[in-house]
Structure 1
Amino acid sequence: MNLFDVFLATLNITLPVFAMVLVGLVLKRIGWIDQAFIATASALVFKATMPTLLFLSIVQADLDTAFQPGLIAYFLGFTLLSFVLAWGWAVARYPRLDRGIFVQGAFRSNCGVVGLALAASMYGGYGLSLGGILTGGVIVLYNVLSSIILSLYSPTARSDISALLADIVRNPLILCVFAALPVAALGISLPNWLLTSGEYFGSLSLPLALICIGGTLSVRSIRSGNRLVMSVCLWKLVWVPLLGTLGAILLGYRGQALGVLFLFLASPTAAVAFIMAKAAGANDRLTADMIVLSTLASMLTVSLGIFVLQWFEMI
């Protein structure tokens, strides 16, 4: 495969995903969708269509291939390591009140939407199956670590273990993964009509979620010259995926597993980071800037990362 073929293959993976984000941006700009639509659609995706998509992708997957305990353990372990490294950097470089939002923005990926959409675009059903399992595990870790760091540096929030555990237990994405694994492991067959209806419903998830992300973007919200926001994007889009992917390569991971891992590590800062920062009384405006800038910049960094990995025949 020559350089041009690799470039075209990269665009075929990333452009369909980020094109939907741009569609959402345009639709919001011309007034075809509004904030009420975005709020309703986002809730529908989170509570219903995305859990359905993940459930069916795991139920129909070959768990011998998609369920990889070693890769899952590495992903969760590196996520914890990136959290600790970002925390150390924040303590050394930034005022106390900014440390919580920096750490959350630097380590928390938008795996549930952007990561899954990219994995599905690149690897189809395998990407959804493995990605769904990775998402179910990492969401728990993201929520726990984000709650801890925001509580430590927030002037108002206090850590509430019972409330945190309740949120985790009620999270639809986590519940669907735990419900799907035994069904897939036991080989339970679902009726064809149920599978078909579920696929229709679940297929709404990724385009609708990406359009909602685009509808929430506002380039004007980025205040130029803010070093904290730029530093978060550098961590989230460069250092975290670079170090995490290199570590996986050294451990011998190649092909589809390495590709899905890279896409999850390289995804932009999760949109839910804004909600958690606001609830903790942290600087939610800067958190919004991190989400906007990292989402826009990831169009370039993800494409570049896939290009390099394909060029060296790692994925």
Structure 2
Amino acid sequence: MLAIFLQTLNITAPVFAMLFLGALLKRVGWIDDNFIRTASALVFNVCMPSLLFLGIYHADLHAALKPGLLIYFIVATLLGFAMAWGMAIWRCPEADRGVYTQGAFRGNNGIIGLALAGSMYGDYGISLGSILAGLVIVMYNSLSVVVLAIYSPNIKSDPWSICKSVIANPLILSVLLATPITWLQVPLPNWALTSADYLAQMTLPLALIGIGGSLSLVALRSSGRMALSASLVKVVWLPVIGTLGAILVGFRGAELGILFLYIGAPSASVSYVMVRASGGNYQLAAAIIVMTTLAAAVTTNIGIFLLQWGGLI
């Protein structure tokens, strides 16, 4: 358990370091709001799509296809999305409901979830986690575009406009492009892969510096109650309900463990980028990311301990 705790800390501590760096750089005037807006647009349109493309391109899609697991995760994600949206309607003013919903259901599986799956289960965890990650990317981005469009002042919310927003989303396009290339094992030139890797490596630092630069104590206090509510949904209620459901339908071992890690992952940093691009309350999005990332370092270890203590994983 100490090793798992240290692994979780090794993943979350650099995240907070970059958040604090962004806050410090904004404080001393080395970055400003114009830089943050430009960096967020670069992450959303170029860097993150490169990261997702390479993540799928290097995964072994043939090794870990588990139809039952994929079906359960789809159902759990849709129910979690519905629960988060219902809580948003109950707890939030209308303008913030899309931001709350995305923060409460969308997990950081491409970074934290997959890393922990590999740490616990080795190559099998990476293979199975990568399959889930491809599914996660399409579902999370599609559902996020829908709910943000409904409440965003900058995005049309009629069905055709929402459909176009989903199809034109750079993150989804990168997944749709990478999947057939990976499945058919189409070789790509090394120079193209290296160039894409340069862009991919910029993703997390730029996104987190932007989030840190957008944080302020005043904003954190003003959105604290909503951010706390969304954080509890993300790292407490959804993993408890989703994991209990998985136990009841018969999942055990690595499959149950990876489901728990994915459902209980903290809110994804890309949710901030999407909120910023849609003109939503990006300070609320940033507060949710900070709270869930901090809380997940505790809740993940508690969940793993309980599942191991019960002999389930």
- Structure 1 length normalisation: TM-score? 0.75
- 5+ long unaligned stretches in structure 2: none
- Number of residue-to-residue matches in the alignment: 304
Question: 2:24–2:213: 8 Å Cα contact kept in structure 1?
Answer: no
Is the counterpart of residue 9 in structure 1 residue 11 in structure 2?
no
The aligned residue for residue 291 of structure 2 is 293
- Return closer, same or farther for 1:80/1:62 CA change in 2, 3 Å cut-off: same
The residue that corresponds to 1:3 in the other structure is none
For residue 15 of structure 2, the aligned residue among 8, 13, 21 is 21
C-alpha distance in 1, partners of 2:250/2:63? Answer: 16
Residues 109-141 of structure 1 deviation map (CA, whole Å, 9 limit, x = unaligned): 344555456556665753445423321233212
> Aligned partners of 1:187, 1:288: CA distance in 2, in Å?
38
- 2:20 maps to amino acid: V
Give me the CA root mean square deviation.
3.9
CA distance in 2: counterparts of 1:142 and 1:28, whole angstroms: 25
**Aligned counterpart in structure 1 of residue 186 of structure 2, from 185, 188, 191:** 188
Report Cα offsets for 1:274-299 as digits up to 9, x if no partner: 67778889766655544443343333
**TM-superposed deviation, 1:39:** 3.8
Structure 1 residue runs without a partner (length 5+): 1-5
State how 1:170-209 maps to structure 2 within 5 Å.
170-209=168-207
Matches within 5 A, 1:1-315: 6-12=1-7, 14-31=8-25, 34-35=31-32, 36-89=34-87, 94=91, 97=94, 100=97, 102-111=100-109, 114-115=112-113, 125-126=126-127, 127-128=129-130, 130-148=132-150, 150=151, 159-219=157-217, 221-223=219-221, 227-270=225-268, 286=284, 288-312=286-310, 314-315=312-313
Q: 1:282 to 1:230 in 2, by over 3 A?
A: same
Deviation digits for residues 208-248 of structure 1 (CA, Å, limit 9, x no counterpart):
54454444444553228964443322212100111112222
- Check the 8 A contact 1:268/1:294 in 2, yes or no: yes
Specify the code of the residue in structure 2 equivalent to 1:16. Answer: N
Indicate the larger mover: 226-235 or 177-186. 226-235
Tell me the distance in 1 between the aligned counterparts of 2:296 and 2:217: 14
TM-score (norm 2): 0.75
8 Å CA contact 1:137–1:174 kept in 2: the answer is no
In 1: Cα distance, 2:261 partner to 2:145 partner? 20
Structure 2 CA distance, aligned partners of 1:268 and 1:79?
Answer: 14
Change over 3 Å in CA distance of 1:133–1:229 after alignment to 2: closer
